[in-house]
Every structure is written in C-alpha cells, then in structure tokens.
Chain A
Amino acid sequence: MSERHIIVIGGGLSGVMAALSSKSAGCRVTLIRGGLGRTALGNGLVRLAGIVRVTGSSRYLPLMKSVKEMLRGNPEHPFLRLEIAESEAYAARDLFVKIVNDGYFVENADADLLPSWFANEIGNLEAAHFAPLSTARFHRESRESVGVVGFSGYRRFHAEYLAESWTRHAEKLRLPVTFAPVSISFDKDGKPFRKPAETARALEKENELSRLTEMLRKALENVEVNRLVFPPVLGMDGSLAKELEKRLNLPVGEAAGARESLAGLRLIWLLEAFLIAEGVEIVSGTAREPEMDSGAIRSVETASGKEENRRLEADAFVLATGKFLGGGIRSVEGRFVEPLFSLPVFSEGRRIEDDFIGKLTRNDFSAPQAFERVGLRADLYGRPVAEGGGVCYPNLFAAGQVIGGFDPNREGAEGVDLISGYLAGKRAGETDHA
C-alpha cells in the first residue's frame, strides 16, 4: 500500500505545523508556499491565547484558565468548534517547542504557562508565551533597571520615549522593572541608518560592532543598569545579542519589533530549516485550479514565475493560506471570497458574500471589529463547512487564520495557528472521518 500524500498550502506558522504533524503521522507531505504572510510580518512573539487579567487585580490568568475565559461567550472560536482535547493542545505545543527548540524560549514549560512580558517598539509591554531567545523578557520576579540603547543614527527607535513609556506600563502592570535611556551617537559615517535590515547588516561587520561596543562601554560608565535593551537589529538572525552580552558582560536583549521587524523573517527561516530537515517537500509558487472528483479534491496546480507549472495530486489537502495578509480570504469588488476552492466565507457564524464592509466595522477604532473575525467555518475535524453545516470537501482541512470566528489580535492568533495547524495535519493524515 502506498504512502498517504498530504498537500499543505501555505508556509506560515499554521502550514508548517500541519506539514510536520502529518509528517509525524507517517505521511508524505508537500508544502506549497507563495509569498510571505502574517508570520513573516509579525514580531516573533507567540501567544497561545488572549492574555486575560484576573478581575480586579493586576495579575494574569494562567494559560488554560485564560483560554476558558476567552471562550466564554464566543461559540465560534475555533478552539471550541474543533473540540480540542487538552492533550491535543499540549501535543501541539510540544511539537512547536521541538521545531523552535534552538531559537525560542518557553517559560514554565510544564506548569501553567504564565506569560512573560516583552518590550515592543510601539512603547508597550506585550505578553506572550513564546519569544525569540534574542528578545528581552521581563517577569514578575525580575527586579531590574534596564538601559534602553538608542542610536542617534537609527531614528525608528526613540529610546527616551520608549524608556519612559515602558516604565509607566511596567508600573501599571506592577512589574518591578524600570527603564532608562542610554543614547549614543552611533550612525553610518554621519548618515542615518534607514531600515532595520540595513542596520543589522552593518552591525554584522566586526569593525562596526567593536565601535558600538566601545561607545557603549563609555556610555555605561555613568549609568547603573543591570540589563540592556537594543532596537531589534542585532544581526539579521539576532545572534549579535549573545555576542554583545559577552563583550559588555551584561544581559543583552532586543525589543520586540513593530513595523518591518526582522523577527518574523527569522521565525520563517527557522521553520524552513526544520521543514527541510524533516524531509518535507517544498514547492514555491501559488496553488490554483483544483480538480475535483466525486466530491473530493484530487489535485491542484502550482504556478510560479520561474519554473514550469506542475499539477500535484494528493489524498488530502490542508488549506493554511491565512486571512487577508496571506491571501486566504479576499475581498474582491466588495465580495468576500476564498479564492482557491471558492469556499463559503462566514462572519460570526453567518455566511457573508457581498455584505457592505461598513456593516462589519465599528466607529471606534479600538473596539473589536467584526471584519477581523471573517473566515471559513470548520467542523470538528477542521473541515470547511457550507451554510447548512455540511462539509465542503471530505479531504480538505483548514488551518490558521483562514478560519474565522475569532479576533486575531485579542484571542491568540498564534495559538490558533499552532493548534489548528497541528490538528489539521494530524486529521488529514488519518484515513477515515465519520
């Protein structure tokens, strides 16, 4: 009997999770990926669920309680629709830990998974369950005074403002951390660095790095700090954090990035390395023109500008194309569509098609918005369903942001990626679904 073949469409966090969980179920896996998406554009922080505060206190709930709180009153959340067993959630987490073992940090891996805090470029402390090792993290027990390093020639990172803003936020969160700016006049021969990558590449040169180290040594003579936070530009892969730590004899970390963050790309590279090591076939290009046969999907064509188009057949397919950023859900001339398989798109459990977008938005920018919850609706196996609840294709499984029903920014986008990805891969690998 031949091996079961799974095609995963999408190379972000959820797609990679799906590919690897299929792989570990003993299937042959092909991953089709086009351009980058949400994972590459993020700041590398991974939240398994929304971060929920204990009512009337500054403390936060441990993970499983957070999840329960988050799910209360939102029956459309994929965590509920997929009927996830606790053991499956932990299995998904373990798989992720295995993937990112080298570069990511997980706190309290066996206990409650209380979040740590990370200082981001927007000026806030942001909670997350996983973060790159190079990102500076803070928690309740660490009483610290942190130096925020600003370069005169890197204007995206405003050390004075950030130090003040983070200190205030830490006070609010009752974290025993204070931040103070450490500004040095570091630039590119009198010219500013314009982009994070430009800065990171410059620092990778030994003479620039030692110049920076010298300047910092001098600047630190008059300042009492026991940790340093840098703009997130410590080398393209973040490895300069360790190097600087050695040279300065102080713990060194990066802030979590905002716009044009390198951290998302680093995560993508990490995932890619793991896929290759595990023997997953990667096809670059976009998937299109699926072929169906007796109600099931048989094959898709891949198209890329470089190579010839190929038609790939498989026993099951995982759709991990993301939401708007990944192109999994599009709004074309005012109509919401899933472009590859023309699957029905839902919002809050209701089918939408050419709904006026003004009905899915609210006046208050900060309020939760219905359009963010738009996406596919899945049955308990993760298969997209039609309006009546019937499964669209028995061998098509959805993973990650393409599934709707939850608010990515408030209800744990990466958690949905990890868990639904893991489950989609696992269930696609199984032969029979009742």
Chain B
Amino acid sequence: MTTLYDAIVVGGGVNGCGVARDLAMRGLEVLLVEKGDFSMGTSWASSGMIHGGLRYLMSDVHTTYKSCKDAGYIRSIAPHLTFRIPFLMPVLDDEGLKGRVNLEGADALFELYDRFQPYKGGKAHIRFSPEEVARIEPLIAKNLVGAVITDEWGIDVPRLCVLNALDAKRHGASLASWTRVTELIREGGSIAGIRTLDELTGEAGESRARLVVNCGGPWAPELARMAGARIRLRPAKGVHLILDRRISNNGIIAQALDGRQVFVIPHENVSMIGTTDDDFFGDPDDIPILEDEVKYLLEAMERVIPGIRNARVIKAIAGIRPTLFERAKYEDDLTRDHRVYDHEVLDGVRGFVSLAGGKLAAYRVMAEETADLVCRKLGCKNSCATHLQPLPGGEEIPDVEELATRYGQDPYAVSRLIFRQGARAVQVLDMMKEKPETGVYVCSCDPVTEAELRFAIRNEAVRRPIDLISRCRIGEGPCQGHGCLTRAAEIFGEERRLSSSEIRREALWMMREKWRWRKEILGGAQLVQEELTRMVHRSLLEREEGR
C-alpha cells in the first residue's frame, strides 16, 4: 500500500525545494522528488544573487518594489547564508560625451534605486571619481570617467536549496533525491501519481498524490509532455567562469561585444564572471561549454579589468535558464517573468500544476504563488508563512570570535562554518570538542572539517558523497577536490558502512563530475594542478580500466 500524498513536487531546484517547503508549512503531505541532488540543475549554475531588480526600474517600478521587499525576506530567513556584494558600475572614457551622459544617467537611476534599498537592507549609492575608484579597486582600468556603486545580496544557492528541502522535511515532507520520474500515473483525465526509478539502488517505485507539481526547470516541458500537457520554453544557456579567489571587493559591470552587460562578482571565496545568454535547444543533461563563450566573457571583462586574462579560472559552469517562450526577441530581452500553469484549465489535465520561468531572486514569491494555486485546488485554507519563519540555522547568527574562543578552534574555519550552518554550527563544534580528531580539515580550501561532513551526512539528506558538495562546498576551491574528494568518500563510507569498492566508485564519480566543468578552461595554474591531480590519482584511473 503506497502513501497518498497531498502533493508531489517534481524537481529539486530552488523552485521545487521552495514549493515543497511552502506546501509542507501549510500542513500538506508532500513528497519532493529530484533526479540528481538538490540544486544540481539551473540553480547550481546561477549567479547566486538575490538582487532587487534594478533593471526593472526602467520598465516596471512595481516589480522592483516587490523584488526588493522579497530580497529583504530571504535575507531575514537565511541571514547566515547571505553576504553583501557592493556593485560598481564603471563608465569608461572612450566614448566621449556619451560616457559622461551615461554616468549622470546611472547616478540618477541609482538615486531612484536608493528609495527601494531600505526594503532589503541595502546602502545608498555612492558616486566615485576615477581617482577614488583606483584607490578602492586598484585592478580596474585607468581610463574611467567615474563610477557608481550600489549593493545587492549574494547567496549560497546550493545550500539555499538544501535548507529549503530540509525545512520541508522538518515540516513533515518526504525527500527523494537521486530518484527519476519515469512515468506519470494517469487515471481518467487526471494525474494520480508518479512512477520512479531510484538511481542508486535501481529500484522502481510508485507514489500517489492528489496533485503533482512540475518544477522541472529546463526539464519541465518533458515532464509536462508525460502528463499530456504542454509548456513552451525558450531555454537559454548561461555560462559562468569561476576564478580561484575574490579578485575584487566589488561586483564590476562591463559591456560585452554585443552590448550586453556582463560582470565579475566576488562570491564567498571566489569570483564569478558571467554570464552568457544564448538560445539552447540541446539536452539539458549535457551542456557543452564553447570556446566562444569563454572568450566572449574574458574579452568583455578585459576592458574594465585589464589583467583578467592572467587570473586563474578554476572551472566553468553552465546552466539552462527555463525562460518563457517569446518570439522575435533577443535572448537578453526575454522576460525573466514566471508563470504558474494550471493544466486543468489549459490542457484539461487535472491534478497537474507547473511552474516555469522566473529568476532566483523571486523563488520564494514564485513558490508562494504556486502553493496558493495548489491549496486552492486541494481546499487547504492555510496561508503562506515562508517569509516569516527562518530556514534551518537562520534563527540567529552566533558570534564568530566568541564561538572560536569557546571551542578553541580557528576563527576563520568557524566563520565559514557559521556561514553555512548558522545557529547549528554549535552542534558541529560540539562534535569537534567531543572527538578532537574530527576537527581536521578534509578540504582546506574552504575549509571543511571532518565533523562538518559527518554532521551533514547524518542530518542533511545526503544520499551519496557527491551531495556533500552542495552541503559543505567541499572540493569547490582552486584544487577542485584534488585532496578532499577521496577522503570525503571514505568518511561517507564509514558512516554508511559501504564496501571499499562502493567507496572507490563514489570517489571516482565525484572526480568525473568535477572534471566535466573544468575540461574547457584548463590553463595557467589550473593545468599545473591537473598534472598533479592526475599523477596522484593515476592508480585510481588504472584500476578503473579493469586491470
């Protein structure tokens, strides 16, 4: 006898996790199904910003207002996971009078934006002379007319997804990662559940629900097709280059060859250069990164940061934006709006709802709208509270120095731990106190301790070692897992009593996944790193070949 859920949410990106949390908080029985790990699709490849919608000031002021307000909400429910990114818009000298006009225009625009900043705790903008810019951002080009600075919030997106999923679980939802939906169960004109395949055990399963919510992102049209419904997207590929370190204090905006705006932003302990925006009609499971895209981004940034080509790129990530379909528009001009599809009205398919389009910064509002529709259909009267209750660990942010002193740990490691775990950092530190040997760094790039890994494995819906990348940012530093992935697999194996060959298989799987995202950008120090990594792991590769 299978349980009858109120709703099954398919897709564990930020939207799916957000919808699952919202529904669970309203007291519904929810199952969240994801074919990989949470956040492994579009969410993982996003710029990781909860912006206030500056660009909508030119088209729809109300959207800016709503975005800023919601950015404030997200910040208040996950204060530990957000960080401020000052954003610097330099105006280059090479355009003569036009440059000066642009600078004044930007100044006025940001002045208007200042009115909305208080909703999300942002600061008023500042306008700088070229000399001042040189002092606060020394690597920037010298030929400026001036620059304007405002700020936005950055966020650790994989962790945000995970926390939403974990909070859904705390409110009674069931989580099923590494579970692929193979078929939708249709009964009459209605969707009654899903058939699934567990990617790890190979077991087939069946779950029934009164309603299925499609949050598949780029995979949403495929799922809709299975339901006999239709969603039309105009998917666009976005590529980011990840640098080994924060190369600047500020996010810096530059203009690309085609006039689009691209940027470099400091994000946690790396910088990201992004992003491209091109139609993509291929397989969202296999997104190639092209020479053109890498060159496009570097060319654009070089104008404002002349030394950028010498920077070390540690990986390139690509994701597919599930933008809504529009014809006769350039990719960049496509609306970032979202849409909740009631397929009962649209296609006559009952028990099936889809969410598509949108942007990361609006995930909570989108989830709320979707949950509202689901609740209307299911007759649930409870209203949304996702903006009021903190995500796990967001209850309060402990003081770094105080905790470090109390537990005798490195304050830097404690500050990174608090960034991820918030109030729950204390539980990890307790483990380190009880067993000092778990205080050893497994990944020293971030750093991540053995205790944090064990805590995640026990408490954070981890099904395989690769999940630890989104839980703890393991292997995301310059060495790309050179030293930590095999060790992480061993720790996982110890916790879950895996055999040595299962541990090896998982370790190799992680190395392969990481390789996919750096094979197009190897160069400079990263190529040196690769020679070392392959030399150290050569026997792992050999045994794999069946010797």
Contact = CB atoms under 8 A, between A and B. Distances in A.
A187 B534 contact: no
B97 interface: no
A51 B539 CA distance: 11
Contact of B483 (A120, A259, A371): A259
Interface stretch (A86-94, A151-159, A384-392): A151-159
Interface in B498-547: 499-501, 503-504, 508, 511-512, 515-516, 519-524, 527-528, 530-532, 534-545, 547
Contacts of A315: none
B478 to A, nearest CB: 14
A415 to B, nearest CB: 14
Contacts of A194: 440-441
Given A324-B527, A333-B310, A363-B519, A161 B535 contact: no
A67 interface: no
B493 interface: yes
B522 A331 contact: yes
B230 interface: no
Interface string B254-286: 000000000000000000000000000000000
A361 interface: yes
Contacts of A191: 436
Given A53-B547, A191-B436, A366 B539 contact: no
A169 interface: yes
Interface stretch (A75-83, A102-110, A121-129): A121-129
A371 B515 CA distance: 14
A183 B531 CA distance: 34
B289 interface: yes
Contact of B522 (A126, A155, A164, A371): A371
Contacts of B487: 155-156, 158
A33 B535 CA distance: 22
B450 A155 contact: yes
Contacts of B530: 324, 371
B376 interface: no
Contacts of A258: 536-537
Interface residue SS majority, chain A: loop
Contacts of B537: 122, 258
Contacts of A260: 483
Contact of B528 (A161, A324, A363, A409): A324
B540 A325 contact: no
A363 B515 CA distance: 8
B296 to A, nearest CB: 13
B210 interface: no
A323 B532 CA distance: 11
Interface of B is mostly: helix
A164 B500 contact: yes
B291 interface: yes
B408 to A, nearest CB: 10
A120 B520 contact: no
B522 A366 contact: no
B527 A371 contact: yes
B437 A192 contact: yes
A192 B438 CA distance: 8
Interface string A159-178: 01100110011001000000
Given A38-B531, A123-B500, A333-B310, A153 B437 contact: yes
A172 B500 CA distance: 14
B336 interface: no
B309 interface: yes
Contact of A161 (B494, B516, B524): B494
Given A124-B540, A168-B501, A357-B523, A366 B531 contact: no
Contacts of A190: 436
A72 to B, nearest CB: 17
Contact of B544 (A41, A323, A366): A366
A365 B310 contact: no
A85 interface: no
Given A165-B500, A357-B522, A324 B531 contact: yes
A414 to B, nearest CB: 11
A165 B535 contact: no
Contact of A357 (B482, B493, B521): B521
B437 A361 contact: no
B76 interface: no
A372 interface: yes
A259 B487 CA distance: 11
B439 interface: yes
B532 A325 contact: yes
B536 A259 contact: yes
B43 interface: no
A344 interface: no
B490 interface: yes
Contacts of A122: 486, 536-537, 539-540
A413 B490 CA distance: 29
B19 to A, nearest CB: 33
Interface string A352-376: 0000111001111110000110000
Contacts of B515: 365
Contacts of B524: 330-333
Contact of B539 (A124, A334, A371): A124
Contacts of B547: 51, 53, 172
A408 interface: yes
A253 interface: no
A231 interface: no
A44 interface: no
A346 to B, nearest CB: 16
Contacts of A394: none
A325 B522 contact: no
Contact of B437 (A152, A356, A358): A152
A372 B542 CA distance: 15
A363 B537 CA distance: 17
Interface string A11-31: 000000000000000000000
Nearest to B512: A365
Contacts of A361: 519-520, 522
Most buried by A among B309, B440, B503, B512: B440
A285 interface: no
Nearest to B486: A122
Contacts of A38: 531, 535
Interface in B274-326: 289-291, 309-310
Given A161-B493, A165-B503, A371-B527, 16 more contacts: A41-B532, A41-B536, A122-B486, A122-B537, A122-B540, A123-B540, A152-B437, A187-B437, A192-B440, A258-B536, A331-B527, A356-B520, A358-B519, A371-B522, A408-B531, A409-B534
Closest A-B pairs by Cβ, 8 of them:
A165-B500, A365-B515, A409-B538, A124-B539, A361-B519, A358-B520, A164-B500, A192-B437
Interface of A: 38, 41-42, 51, 53, 120, 122-126, 152-153, 155-156, 158, 160-161, 164-165, 168-169, 172, 187, 190-192, 194, 258-260, 323-325, 330-334, 356-358, 361-366, 371-372, 408-410, 413
28 contacts: A120-B539, A123-B540, A126-B542, A155-B440, A158-B490, A161-B490, A165-B503, A187-B437, A191-B436, A258-B536, A259-B482, A259-B483, A324-B531, A325-B535, A331-B524, A333-B310, A334-B309, A334-B523, A357-B520, A358-B290, A363-B516, A365-B511, A365-B515, A366-B544, A371-B530, A372-B531, A410-B542, A413-B535
